[in-house]
Structure 1
Amino acid sequence: MILVFGKTGQVARELATLSGDVTCLDRAQADLSVPGACDAAIRAARPDAVINAGAFTDVDGAETQVALATRINGAAPGEMGRACADLDIPLVQISTDYVFDGSGHAPRLPEDPTGPLGVYGASKLEGETAVSDSGCRHAILRTSWVFSAHGENFVKTMLRLGAERELLRVVADQIGGPTPASVIAAACLTMVQGLRVGAPSGIHHLSGRPDISWAGFARAVFDVAGLDCKVEDITTADWPTPAVRPANSRLDCTSLMAVFGIARPDWRDGLRAVIKS
């Protein structure tokens, strides 16, 4: 049995549909903000592996809820890692492109220097470090721009606003790879199996191809959905937010293919699937 922290999030919901060997825990069953809760849940369940799909994902809210974001995204994964090390079971930890500073134009490699711009990225980086230091067999999967038919995400927001308005102003100077949650979930299951049979611990990247701006992604959403909504390109400066977003979210995903045989997906396939669902 694979124990999954998180139940209502995008990746957790996809995991539940992909495998009958998955048990997903909600906040009532394992509150990541409570010290000891993750350790107790793992030891009680005695799973074969753990996937952490739970996180504090409110990027702007993290700027004012530093302690809570750091506890959930930083301390809790370390607690999971130590429990997994004691039980000799693998852990897959989902992380983010926000651990980088967003500079330059080249896709970031897993071993490239980090430099988060805000609390959310810093808390996720703390979680990565805690898992790596725990001594468990692990795979850290950094991903970006996650979308699905579930929860709150850019695609669902664009579908709603695109049906209501004739024009939307969307940021065009942030570039990244949209990633279907279903692909992330499938990758997590593959990585669990790889760790079980001896794949080395490490950090990997997974994002959809081709890289695109938020404005370009919005146009793709409207095109697939058949919505007659125009997109006006704007800059990040035109749309200020409490937390700074990375301008360059491009991720180099070659190590994921080399170690686990997982190819970088075409996000357009995932987009069509989500809109038709």
Structure 2
Amino acid sequence: MRLVVTGREGQVVQSLLEAGQGLDGVEIVAVGRPQLHLARPETVIAALAASRPDIVVSAAAYTAVDQAEDEPDAAFAVNAVGAGKVAEAAARLGVPVIHLSTDYVFDGAGTGSYVETDATAPHSVYGASKLAGEQAVAAVNPRHLILRTAWVYSPFGRNFVKTMLRLAADRDEIAVVADQWGNPTSALDIAHAILHSAAMLHGNKGFGSFGIYHLAGTGETSWSGFARHILDTSAMQGGPTARVRDIATADYPTKAERPRNSRLSTAKFAAAFGWTAPEWRKSTQQVVHRLLSGETRQALSA
């Protein structure tokens, strides 16, 4: 099975490349700029065709949430038009596409965990561009899995876990928002879920459960609760730690509105694929350990 994933540097891409190492019968190829540039749609089909995929994983995206408010055209070019071109290329090649999306397609006003059929109502340019991408993918390739995830972190790239460890090395107290809730999700777990679902697609040419799925860590917390667990774990391993002070969203204004509720129900994915992410605390501990062990220590400064 040959998985071709768009992008080279993202957290999920790096996690997939790592997870695929040594797997019998699995080859993962990352294709990115300049060969494949989502803002230049004319590059997409040729780059993917040259890579000869059995399944395409559409992971590359414009992810600068606040910057997107000032660059809506750039965000939509990549997240909507570009994503659609990736799915179209997969369709032309006769293969499925697994496309990554986000909790930002919801307004965050709900009180429970969102299910796939809940109404979407993004409150940011980023969320709107990702929703448009979902629609473009579904319109051009019926053999699609759209995986919405949230609060992604890993040993790679820039993310909340690495930010908390970096800040704790320089200060005694960190103020963190306490009234936004979600499911912290390790990109390492996302990679394993993608490999698991891709194997089912590849092994079952008659697979009939394409569509939208939620894929997130098991369990929920607030950003401040997430921060406390990160720093408690770090302290137990001899790493940096600091006090966490709860603040309200209003005390930490951002250009783009964040969903107050990012909780996603993963029951549909579990039923279809027989896979559930580990409890979020366990996955967080794994990533913190890797960052502090020296295995990816240099990445803390990234």
Counterpart for residue 267 of structure 2: 254
CA distance in 2, matches of 1:70, 1:229: 39
Instruction: Check whether the contact 2:115–2:264 (CA below 8 A) recurs between aligned residues.
Output: yes
CA distance in 2, matches of 1:83, 1:70: 18
What stretches of structure 2 of length at least 5 have no aligned partner?
22-26, 291-302
Find 2:278's aligned residue among 249, 265, 270.
265
Deviation of 1:88 (Å):
1.4
Is 1:58 matched with 2:64? yes
Instruction: Check whether the contact 1:139–1:191 (CA below 8 A) recurs between aligned residues.
Output: no
SS of alignment partner, residue 161 of structure 1: helix
Query: Structure 2: which amino acid aligns with 1:241?
Result: T
Counterpart for residue 165 of structure 1: 171
Counterpart for residue 10 of structure 1: 11
Is 1:209 matched with 2:184? no
Deviation of 1:46 (Å):
2.1
Is 1:155 matched with 2:155? no
Is 1:27 matched with 2:28? no
Instruction: Check whether the contact 2:80–2:129 (CA below 8 A) recurs between aligned residues.
Output: yes
CA distance in 2, matches of 1:13, 1:67: 27
Query: Structure 1: which amino acid aligns with 2:15?
Result: E
What stretches of structure 1 of length at least 5 have no aligned partner?
none
Is 1:109 matched with 2:115? yes
Deviation of 1:199 (Å):
4.2
Counterpart for residue 245 of structure 2: 232
CA distance in 1, matches of 2:5, 2:214: 20
TM-score in terms of structure 2 length? 0.89
Deviation of 1:58 (Å):
0.4
Counterpart for residue 121 of structure 1: 127
Counterpart for residue 90 of structure 2: 84
CA distance in 2, matches of 1:194, 1:110: 21
CA distance in 1, matches of 2:69, 2:43: 24
CA distance in 1, matches of 2:201, 2:69: 35
Counterpart for residue 199 of structure 2: 193
Deviations 1:145-193 (A, max 9, x none): 0001111000000000011111111100000000000111111122222
CA distance in 2, matches of 1:249, 1:276: 26
CA distance in 1, matches of 2:250, 2:263: 20
Q: Percent identity?
A: 44
Counterpart for residue 103 of structure 2: 97
Please report the RMSD computed on the Cα atoms of aligned residues, expressed in angstroms.
1.1
Deviation of 1:77 (Å):
1.3
Deviation of 1:111 (Å):
1.0
Deviation of 1:50 (Å):
0.3
Residue range with higher mean Cα deviation, 213-222 or 263-272: 263-272
Deviations 1:211-270 (A, max 9, x none): 100001100011000044111111100000000000000101000011111113211121
Query: Structure 2: which amino acid aligns with 1:51?
Result: V
SS of alignment partner, residue 249 of structure 1: coil
TM-score in terms of structure 1 length? 0.97
Counterpart for residue 143 of structure 1: 149
CA distance in 2, matches of 1:209, 1:80: 30
CA distance in 1, matches of 2:216, 2:210: 20
SS of alignment partner, residue 5 of structure 2: strand
Residue range with higher mean Cα deviation, 15-24 or 172-181: 15-24
